[in-house]
Amino acid sequence: MLAVLLSLALGTPTPLRLADLLREAREKNPDLKSATARVRATQSAISPAGALDDPMLMVQLWNGPVDFSTVPLMVQVSQNIPVGGKRGARTDMARADAAMADADLGQKQFDVETQVASAYFDLFLADRTQEIDDELEAILKVVLRASEARVSTGKAEQVELLRAQGALVQLRSERETAIDHRRSSWARLSALLDRDPTAPPGTTTRPGVLGTLPDVAALTERALGGRPELAGSRAAIQGAQAQERLARANRIPDLGLFAAEMHTFRNPMGVSDFLFAGFQVNLPIFFGSKNEPRIAGAQAHLVAAQEAARALRNRVAAEVAEGYAHLLAETHQIDFHHQLIPIARQAVRSAESSYAAGRSDFTMVLDSQPTANVTIGLTSNDNYSGPVDYNNAPWFDWGPYLWASGNTPRSDFLVWCNNDSNINSPCFQVRDFRFGDASQGFYGDLTHPAHSGQGKAATQILNFLLQSPFTQAWIQQ
């Protein structure tokens, strides 16, 4: 409540919560309002269905002379009384119609709540997708700057820079797709809530989930007892039974009662008032061609309603079992994803740092995104600390990419050479880094560059520190 008041005071959209949206949909959804009105209409029809017909009042000039010397006026009241259970059958049929309308309201509410939840989760997923895209964009921008630095120093090919730029463009395209999904989800949600779709939506909040899931038997029993469509099928059976009873009752004649009083005005002869009373019945003589087909049709409707209810129960039970299996599998997948997400994030950071340091190519950075499987091989070149298990011993550093395969030049012609290389070696042709210097006592230690390579190494290290986003803030001060 405090968050709602604060958002109203600040003029910002209220945060969206699924429970609040479901409550709002029950109150404001136009389809639910229409279904509720139909329930009221059918419930109002129950009492009239079993009521007697209105009595008939007849006033007539009866057997009077044409000269009106006397005026015999008769007043008659008649009432038709259905017998044989017709009124009860009609009442039960009206009750069944009301029950089916109520079941239709329950089904409509179930459908609306499902659509609200689906639209909300789509909106929630779009919001989370945008957050992840923002995080990935920050990573790709770092990789893009690193690739630009590597290409500018000749340590990478132009294709790596193009890949980084293409990946960034693709990510922005995916963000536009997420924005489109968010707009469409809000449009569906606002229609269900009878809101203005042009109004800005609030931020979504993480919905609560069940702590434990009941077993499938309990869920099936609950569904068979509470699903609105099953209640509607039971009402349809009751309506068909009432229709059959009414068809059978129509074979019994209805009773019509009447009473009348006649008064003769200007009567010169004694008695002027007369009473009449009697009854009448209809004769169902055409039952073979009229009533029996009605009974057969009502029985067919009853069988159809019963079999439809049986099929519906089977379908509901199958839906519960299928939905339970899917939910159980997705729950396990969510658990696995919760285990994989931290690993994937660590893999992305490691690949980003490795790429910035020049120890991997851009493909490894792309493959280490959270949706991919990442394999990072670790090796060691420490030959001075005893025997090395090259399958398990890790090796990690942070800095410019200075590795080369001995006398084999890299694409930028960088090589590492020993001072005792012969004159035909690439070392004497390229004259790049050397890891030995006899005059300084470092000859052959396979670690330190000679004087001819120290300047080159220092320059690359300085450029790396100036260009790395992790060191720019303090190295330039």
pLDDT higher than threshold 90 for residue 315: yes
pLDDT tier for residue 333 given thresholds of 50, 70 and 90: confident
Locate 286 and state its tokens: 């055409």
pLDDT value of position 239 = 94
Q: What is the pLDDT of residue 290?
A: 82
Q: What is the pLDDT of residue 20?
A: 92
pLDDT at 417: 64
Q: Average the pLDDT over 391-404 and give the result.
A: 56
**pLDDT over 80 (residue 339):** no
Q: Which of 68-77, 146-155, 202-211, 466-475 has the lowest mean pLDDT?
A: 466-475
Tell me what the pLDDT averaged over the chain comes to: 78
CA atoms within 13 A on the CB side of 477: 4
Average pLDDT over residues 80-88: 92
Q: Say what the pLDDT of residue 238 is.
A: 94
Q: Looking at the predicted structure, is the pLDDT value of residue 71 above 70?
A: yes
Q: What is the DSSP string of 276-307?
A: EEEEEE---TTTTTTHHHHHHHHHHHHHHHHH
Give the pLDDT confidence score for residue 352 in this predicted structure: 60
pLDDT at 300: 94
Confidence of residue 450 (pLDDT cuts 50, 70, 90): low
pLDDT value, residue 161: 76
Q: Does domain 2-206+215-340 have CATH number 1.20.1600.10?
A: yes
- Report the pLDDT value the prediction gives residue 406, as an integer from 0 to 100: 61
For residue 436, the model assigns a pLDDT of 42
Going by pLDDT thresholds of 50, 70 and 90, the confidence category of residue 408 is low
What pLDDT, on the 0 to 100 scale, is given for residue 37?
Answer: 95
Lowest-confidence region among 39-53, 187-201, 339-353, 359-373: 359-373
Burial state string for 440-464 with b = 16 or more CB within 10 A and e = fewer than 16 = eebbeeeebbbeebeeeeeebeeeb
Q: Residue 417 carries which DSSP code?
A: B
- pLDDT tens per residue across span 248-257: 998 889 999 9
Q: What global pTM score does this model have?
A: 0.63
Q: Is the pLDDT of residue 371 over 80?
A: no
pLDDT at 410: 64
Rounded to the nearest 10°, the torsion over CA 64, 65, 67, 73 is -10
Domain coordinates in residue numbering, the chain: 2-206+215-340, 402-477
In angstroms, how far apart are the furthest CA atoms of the chain? 165
Q: How far apart are CA 365 and CA 349, in angstroms?
A: 9
Q: Which residues contact 149 (CB under 8 A, 6 or more apart)?
A: 463, 464, 467
